[in-house]
Chains A and B, each alone.
Chain A
Amino acid sequence: MPFDIDARVIENRRLSSDYNVLSLEAPDIAGATEPGQFVMVKPDRGIDPLLRRPFSVFEILRDGGRPVGLSILSKRVGVTTGQIFGAQAGQRVQCLGPLGRAFTLPGPATEVWMVAGGVGLAPFWTVAEALAGRGVTLTLFYGGRGDADLLYLDYFERLGVTLAVCTEDGSRGERGRVTIPLERALAARQAGTDVLVHACGPDPMLAAVARLAARYGCRCEVSVERVMGCGLGGCYSCVVPVKAANGGFHHVRSCISGPIFDAATLVWD
């Protein structure tokens, strides 16, 4: 059951000229959120822009263990993300959630390899928090354009996550795409090590990760990003093609059947 909260902005942390983390007071949503789920957000009550925008829940904020709020990690690309970047503490933001399906969280017998491209890092804070608590071995493959696109590395380090970092301009970590260290790791994986890959980022990255996972026989879940109208299955705008038994495809709403999908079920070309 999703909650709609007229959430107070607790804090707006600007991480760079494009990225910010907006903390919202929304205890009901925070208490019900599973890793990978999202919220539909509207910082301005007006009709332009009219629709809410989807954001992964980034952190769950706690006070003495009790969930009191959540944050979103936003990259400024347009009107709403501009409003989110400019938001002030105390301001109200409409926040509806939690929505969508979560990532599968395995037990300690399985390693989880998180693959993030840019702002695709967002769903992995909660994944790492939940799985570190269960003693699951975690690796984060994290790629961005440059150093400024790589965020929160110290947080993942503190949780004991192994990091494989790369940038396209070589300003931090390995130069190149995140699929390079991922493929190396998949090739070097010991027989008998069970790995579940979780990926979030731009479509070409997801397609490449899905291909690699299939080639090396790993289960892989991806978080897809489509233009969403409502987040609840009402409008049919956010569809992705899912393989059908007859060799064709079905359009499936990524807001309610996703945004997390088993990569093997999607049509990638």
Chain B
Amino acid sequence: MDLSVRLGPLTLKNPLIAASGCFGYGLEYGEVVDLSSLGGVCVKGLFLSEREGHPPPRIVETPGGMLNAIGLQGIGVHRFIAERLPELRERGATVLVNICGVTLDEYVEVARVLSDAEGVAAIELNISCPNIKEGGIQFGCSLSGTYDVVSAVKKVTHLPVIPKLTPNVTSPSAFARAAEDAGADAISLVNTFLAMAIDVETRRPRLSNIMGGLSGPAIRPIAVRMVYECRCEVKIPIIGMGGIMDARDALEFIIAGADAVQVGTANFVDPFVWGKILDGISDYMTRHGIARIADLVGTTDTSPAHSHA
């Protein structure tokens, strides 16, 4: 059975990647998960320098999901390379680094710094965080901004560049096209949905940042639809995510058109979810006689349903 997947120049041993911002810098989970057993580990969003993020409360639960407004707290790219990357490398993790920038120059600079480091497999361009005013969302919500940031970063790095798209636009597939035209090696989607929750007793927003990003099972059907639309629009590989809790959910994204998947919120509920998803995918492949997971990608059958007369 072949679980490996190709994301442009990058080959992953399986399609399961820990989603950015939901797995710390990976090492936090080193005792719980064999990091080398994952297709990839996408680390928390990094700017050039350290950031303290928003004050608490930073998360709140809503039916079937959660809102977060962490505000991209992070140690910055230099400390990441010095303090975390060596151990990630030692543990055999395939490291995708999620990067952020206030300006186009910052994205370029962070990408340049990472390109010189040993042990980075790919750069995921976070142009879709809904929680800070100037953290790339201005690029992710404009077609020309998306094009510009992808092409600028592509110019300075040999690493695969994977822009992460926002669902907070009318047509994410148009952004997928802009990313492909700019030379992206793959795209990932979705980031969280901009959302809000209010305590009716106090009339106060439940998050210090007032608004936050919705993740978890509540968003899954919308995310599946967006992956499907992007698959119809572009040829480059897609990393799909949004509310994946188990193997069936992961398979749904793959069938919709995702070459690989990321899992975020489910890791909070069950940090041992990884082995369960991989086992479930293998079981499914055995049951359906599928030799290579890559053969399942984008195989949604939309032919007219057979009648059962």
Binding site for B on A (CB under 8 A): 1-2, 4, 42, 47-52, 94, 96, 226-227, 229-230, 232-239, 249-251, 256
Contact = CB atoms under 8 A, between A and B. Distances in A.
11 contacts: A50-B66, A50-B269, A51-B61, A52-B268, A226-B56, A227-B58, A227-B60, A234-B23, A234-B271, A236-B73, A249-B52
7 A-B pairs with least C-beta separation: A233-B28, A230-B268, A237-B59, A237-B58, A47-B64, A1-B31, A236-B70
B44 A236 contact: yes
A235 B32 contact: no
Nearest to B51: A251
Nearest to B25: A233
B61 A50 contact: yes
Contacts of A251: 52-53, 73
Interface string B27-67: 01101100000000000100000001100111111011110
Contacts of B63: 47-48
A203 to B, nearest CB: 11
Contacts of B217: 47, 50
A49 B57 CA distance: 18
A52 B266 CA distance: 11
B70 to A, nearest CB: 5
Given A51-B66, A256-B28, A234 B53 contact: no
A230 B267 contact: yes
B246 to A, nearest CB: 11
B197 interface: no
Contact of B53 (A1, A49, A226, A239): A239
A230 B265 CA distance: 9
**Could you tell me the dominant secondary structure of chain B's interface residues?**
loop
Contacts of A234: 22-24, 28-29, 267-268, 271
B140 interface: no
Interface string B135-178: 00000000000000000000000000000000000000000000
A91 B294 CA distance: 41
Contacts of B29: 232, 234
A49 B265 CA distance: 13
Nearest to B72: A236
Contacts of A250: 52
Contact of A50 (B21, B32, B70, B216): B216
Given A1-B32, A229-B59, A236-B44, 17 more contacts: A2-B31, A2-B32, A4-B271, A47-B63, A47-B216, A47-B245, A50-B217, A50-B269, A230-B267, A232-B271, A234-B22, A234-B24, A235-B70, A236-B53, A237-B57, A239-B58, A250-B52
Nearest to A42: B269
Contacts of A229: 59, 66, 68, 268
A239 B52 CA distance: 10
Contacts of B68: 229, 235, 237
Interface of B: 21-24, 28-29, 31-32, 44, 52-53, 56-61, 63-66, 68, 70, 73, 216-217, 245, 265, 267-272
B52 A51 contact: no
Contacts of A230: 267-268, 271
**Most chain B C-beta atoms within 10 Å of own C-beta, residue among A226, A230, A233:** A230
A226 B60 CA distance: 12
A96 B217 CA distance: 21
Contacts of B272: 4
A254 B24 CA distance: 14
Contacts of A96: 271
A232 B65 CA distance: 19
A237 B23 contact: no
A1 B52 CA distance: 28
A82 to B, nearest CB: 14
A2 B33 CA distance: 11
Nearest to B28: A233
A19 B303 CA distance: 58
Given A4-B271, A236-B70, A49 B56 contact: no
Contact of A235 (B60, B61, B268, B270): B268
Contacts of B60: 227
Contacts of A2: 31-32, 271
Contacts of A256: 28
B130 to A, nearest CB: 16
Nearest to B31: A1
A180 to B, nearest CB: 30
B137 to A, nearest CB: 19
Nearest to A238: B56
Contacts of B268: 51-52, 229-230, 234-235
Contacts of B53: 236, 239, 251
B265 to A, nearest CB: 7
A4 B22 CA distance: 18
Contacts of A227: 56-60
B39 to A, nearest CB: 18
Nearest to A233: B28
